[in-house]
A and B are shown apart, each in its own frame.
Chain A
Amino acid sequence: MNYPIWDVPLTGGGLLIAAIAVVHVFISHFAIGGGLFLVLTERMGLRARDAAVLEYARHHTNFLTLVILVFGAVTGVGVWWTIALVNPTAVSALVHLFAWVWAIAWVFFLVEIVAALVYRYGWGRMDARTHQAVGWVYFGSAWLSLLMINGILTFMLTSGKWPETQSLTDAWMNPGMLPSLAMRSAVCVALAGVYALITSSQLADLALKERMVRYSAKWVIVGAGVIPFAGLWFAGTLPEQARFLASGGTPMVTAFTVASVLLSGLLITGTVFGPMLFPRQTHVTFACVLAALALGATGATEWVREAVRKPYVIYEYMYSNSLRPADLADVSSLGLLASSRWHVPAKSDWNDPVKIGRSVFRVQCSSCHTVSGLNSIRFATRGWDKALLDQQIQYLNTLKGAMPPFIGTDEERGGLVAYLISLQAEGPGASAALPARSEGERLCRR
């Protein structure tokens, strides 16, 4: 309404966000866990005066600090970059509310990068104590930046006391913050272990391999073992509607929830019965399968986290289509298009309901529906007649899909109906072939 809308044909912008977000979540948690892994492995080697273990830790520093860390940074910027293109109003709200939190996270992030570069440079150059200290600064600042950002992420789902108090502290210290932090920290540990399994399973020295594979497997088991408990704690803080969506309310979301739990279970089982019991026999292919399970579990969990937020993008503050419940009354009386800066049809088109409807659709529905691609509106309304459409749109927030309520004047609703009917006439695989469904038929179907 306030910003131009980026038209991404067929998939809509949401899929772009999902794609980059999954990659980012995987890499960034791995980067943080990897920092801890390096420091602790180095410490183990130092205590045991074991040159082979030290060499193993040193061997992975380049990849973790120069590749994973930087890619974590770029993809993280990329997530917000993409969300800002798809939903600028929501990003604007988060940026304005949390500016200081972002800024603090940025300081930690800068320290993390510098420390990681110095840690890499210092291998074999610095005395061991200093090098360990640098490593702790690297891991510590990485985790602190997770601490800051995590509060923003959970705020979008559990806004807590903020709607009443409007205090930044309440917004950041929201109910989901601590459980999610526990969960994410555990994910970091598990992912570091998964990566270490891939590398340690390739060691040629069998005695060293046995030690390092067992050691890495412990990381996976400890991390992945904590995840379900933290997850339950987190689920307890979810808004009722969100919990409903995840546990039976929507088949798709429920399926992903189940997938996430199953994949995590498989990861633990596989690690116990594989590397933990048979370290010498562990093959790198098996380690890669475990990594794939971990990636799957991470992706499914993040998908659920996004999906259960509907119909909001920021819980109780802003709907996915950037409209705010607080604006409902004003926009309804003034009219959606009259309140909009963009997507206002030309004066000459104000008598054309289809053109008005097209604008209404773009502003209010296109954040979740494409015309004929993903979650196609043409498909969703196939065979509906005018009266049924008009009636259903008035109760949009009670239909399946966890949609926000329709906001607009009677005239705008009429325009939206006319536009959706016009889509049926022009589109492929719709219209005449299907008999129009009546309201009675529809009610039976439900």
Chain B
Amino acid sequence: MPTVIPPIDPLGLPAAAALLKALSLLTFTLHLVAMNVTVGGLMMALVYGRCREGHPGALFAARMRALLPSAMALTITLGVAPLLFVQVLYGQAFYTSSVLMAWSWLLVIPALCVAYLGLYLAYLRPSWIGDRSQALAWFSVALTLLVAAIFANNMTLMLQPGLWAPLYATSAYGIALNLGDPMLPARYLHTVLAAPVVAGLVGALMGRRFRSPDAEWAVWAWRTGVRWFHVGAGLLMLSGVWYLLSLPPRVGSQFLGASAHDTGVLTLGIVLGVVALAVAKRSAWLATVLTGLGVGCMVVARHRVREYMLYPHVNAAGIPVHADSVWAIAFAVTLALGAAAVAWLVYRALRCSGSTEGAAPD
């Protein structure tokens, strides 16, 4: 089996593996949060979009809808960086599994385009498509969930070097999937269930933000958001247990005591989640920060699963480093300036969000 593992790229890593891993985890966490806001926000917008005019749910859905195209655009943009780092660190596994499932992997691109276009038409140009906008939005959700499923497929198939050669022997046409893997459904569910949790927080925060013009509505939004957060997190915990049990024992056991670090990270993630649940009713901001940190812990756990599954066949720490410090510093400076620019832009946008003259018309 190990003979099919592609060799290390002779050009090597551009920096120490640990630094690249840190960047990968950081950017992936941001991507995941944006993804959750998009998917969960869509679910909420659809559920409350059916409320009749005048019900607080109708305004809630409208405000959610206004966020979604931007949230999806950010999800896509924030996904680019982790995609870069996964190739740099684990290209040997990632390219191989991608080629094996080439057609479905390729499907991600048109599916994203159509899903985004659907959102844009349904929520920003409702006048163009009339009463079909709700149906179109459902279609977009389905496509988004499909994209997530394809991702889960590739991210688990790349962890299974033993499956590659047999799958390729069955077909070289790029039509393989990883459907026989017990990890896949559990992992998929666990990732997707985080969406209503995070979006619930967004809803609760929205209740806080728009408190002044309409206090009654704000209370409703706040309560609804917190309810989604609580119910979603309960389901998420259950799916997490299933996921943990679906891991191969040699890997799962690491999180159940065999490795103090890994057990600690997972426990910390769960504790942060539980504390967030407990404080959510009192402070949505605190719950948001805690949940963000909890997601960060889970991303680290996910990373550790990958390292265990791939070791020793693919091991980023074993790739020679051809560091270029000038360019690494250039990146650090750009990142700092970019973060400052984003902060300034967001600040400007928030400062003018009180005035209601309206955004660009058609």
**Which parts of A191-244 form the interface with B (CB within 8 Å)?**
none
> Are A96 and B168 also in contact (CB < 8 A) when A91-B95, A107-B338 are?
no
Give every chain A residue within 8 A of B337 (Cβ-Cβ): 107
Contact of A100 among B73, B108, B330 (CB under 8 A): B330
Using A92-B87, A109-B77, A115-B341 as known contacts, say yes or no to A74 and B164 having CB atoms under 8 A apart: no
Q: Does B326 contact A (CB under 8 A)?
A: yes
Q: Pick the residue among B14, B78, B326 that contacts A110 (CB under 8 A).
A: B78
Q: Which of chain B's residues have a CB closer than 8 A to the CB of A117?
A: 70, 73
When C-beta atoms are compared, the residue in chain B nearest to A59 turns out to be B361
A35 to chain B, nearest CB (A): 14
- The verdict on B120 contacting chain A, using a C-beta distance below 8 Å, is yes
In the complex, the answer to whether A74 meets B328 with C-beta atoms within 8 Å is no
A107 touches B13 (CB 8 A): no
A168 CB–B CB distance under 8 Å: yes
A66 to B3, CA, bound (A): 47
Q: Which residues of A contact B20 (CB under 8 A)?
A: 99
- Cβ-defined partner of B77 (8 Å) among A66, A84, A110: A110
CB-CB nearest in chain A for B351 = A126
The answer to whether B346 touches A114, judged by C-beta atoms less than 8 angstroms apart, is: yes
Q: Which of A113-138 contact B (CB under 8 A)?
A: 113-115, 117-118, 120-126, 130, 134, 137
Task: Select the stretch in A4-12, A328-336, A404-412 that faces chain B.
Answer: A4-12
A91 CA to B13 CA in the complex, in Å? Answer: 14
A81 & B168 in contact (Cβ 8 Å cutoff): no
Q: Are B338 and A110 in touch, CB under 8 angstroms?
A: yes
Q: Point out the residue from B76, B96, B353, B360 that lies within 8 Å of A73, measured CB to CB.
A: B76
Interface of A is mostly: helix
Residue of B nearest to A76 (CB): B80
Give B294 Cβ to nearest chain A Cβ, in Å: 24
Taking chain B's interface residues, is the majority helix, strand, or loop, or is none over half, making it mixed?
A: helix
CB distance from B17 to the nearest CB of A (A): 12
Residues of A contacting B11 with CB < 8 Å?
A: 93, 96-97
By the criterion CB–CB under 8 Å, are B331 and A4 in contact? no
Instruction: Tell me the B88-105 residues at the A interface (CB within 8 Å).
Output: 88, 91, 95-96, 98-100, 102, 105
- The answer for the CA separation of A167 and B322 in the assembled complex, in Å, is 10
Assuming the A-B contacts A96-B9, A123-B359, are A106 and B99 also in contact, with contact meaning beta carbons closer than 8 angstroms in the complex?
A: no
A4 CA to B108 CA in the complex, in Å?
A: 20
- Inter-chain contact B6/A62, CB cutoff 8 Å: no
Shortest distance from the beta carbon of B347 to any chain A beta carbon, whole Å: 10
Q: Which residues of B contact A342 (CB under 8 A)?
A: 4, 168
Would you call B240 an interface residue if the criterion is a C-beta within 8 Å of the partner chain's C-beta atoms?
no
Contact A121-B74, Cβ < 8 Å, known A20-B109, A67-B120, A107-B335: no
Contact status A103-B81, CB under 8 Å:
yes
* Given A5-B99, A78-B109: A111 and B73 interface contact (C-beta under 8 Å): no
Chain B CB within 10 Å, residue with most, of A85, A96, A124: A96
From A4, A74, A111, name the one whose CB has the most chain B CB atoms within 10 angstroms. A4
Cβ contacts B100-137/A at 8 Å (1 or 0 each): 10100110110011001100100010000000000000
Which residues 54-80 of A sit at the B interface, judged by CB distance below 8 A?
58-59, 61-62, 66-67, 69-71, 73-75, 77-78
User: Is the beta-carbon distance between A88 and B95 smaller than 8 angstroms?
Assistant: yes
Distance between Cα atoms of A93 and B77 in the complex (Å): 23
* In contact, A99 and B88 (Cβ under 8 angstroms): yes
Chain B, Cβ-Cβ closest to A115? B345
Closest to A67 in B: B120
Interface residues, chain A, CB within 8 Å of chain B? Answer: 2-9, 16, 20, 58-59, 61-62, 66-67, 69-71, 73-75, 77-78, 81-82, 84-85, 88, 91-93, 95-97, 99-104, 106-111, 113-115, 117-118, 120-126, 130, 134, 137, 141, 166-169, 341-342, 344
Question: Can you sample 26 A-B contacts with CB below 8 Å?
Answer: A4-B100, A7-B174, A8-B173, A59-B362, A62-B359, A67-B117, A71-B113, A73-B73, A74-B76, A77-B76, A81-B106, A88-B96, A88-B99, A96-B13, A100-B327, A107-B335, A107-B337, A110-B77, A123-B360, A134-B345, A166-B322, A168-B324, A169-B326, A341-B3, A342-B4, A342-B168
Known: A107-B338, A125-B355, A134-B345. 12 other contacts (CB 8 A): A3-B95, A6-B174, A85-B106, A88-B95, A96-B12, A113-B73, A114-B345, A115-B345, A118-B349, A121-B353, A122-B348, A169-B326
Interface residues, chain B, CB within 8 Å of chain A? 3-7, 9, 11-15, 20, 23, 69-70, 72-74, 76-81, 83-84, 87-88, 91, 95-96, 98-100, 102, 105-106, 108-109, 112-113, 116-117, 120, 124, 164, 168, 172-174, 322, 324, 326-328, 330-331, 334-335, 337-338, 341-342, 345-346, 348-349, 352-353, 355, 357-362
